[in-house]
Amino acid sequence: MYSDKVMDHFQNPRNVGELENADGVGEVGNPTCGDIMKIYIKVEDDTIQDIKFKTFGCGAAVATSSIATEMVKGKTIEEARELTNKKVAEALDGLPPEKMHCSNLAADALQKALDNYLGIENNNICDACEDISHHHS
């Protein structure tokens, strides 16, 4: 069901934890499946120097968080802004359709952390929630 890459990132997630004095923090939750994701970023010279995540959720949620943090570490804010859920899923060699919303969470949490760093107010805790028409069995 899952690619080797998904399993690898699930079993050996990268960048787990939290950053004490994070420059930006983004948290998203999906009430439908109960997944919660929090991403912390440390920014220097417009570049993401460090990034950590904490995810409470399924294996796909952990794997997407892990690869998303890998994909933007060392990148500029502008480059990180271009990370989409599609790119996250592709980097993991695809996700089962019923798990695609997990990649939305990772990209959304990152974008919220960037918003937080840039001082953009975003009070809607879950952008993905309205788009989800399926439920976990």
Residues with active-site annotation: 33, 102
Beginning with the edge strand found earlier in the chain, give each strand of the sheet holding 24-30 in spatial order: 24-30, 35-44, 47-56
Is 20 in contact with 40 (CB distance < 8 Å)? no
Locus of tokens 């989409």: 84
Residue 85, φ and ψ in degrees, nearest 5: -60, -30
Q: E strands along the chain, which residues?
A: 24-30, 35-44, 47-56
Rounded to an integer, what distance in angstroms lies between the CA atom of residue 86 and that of residue 107? 9
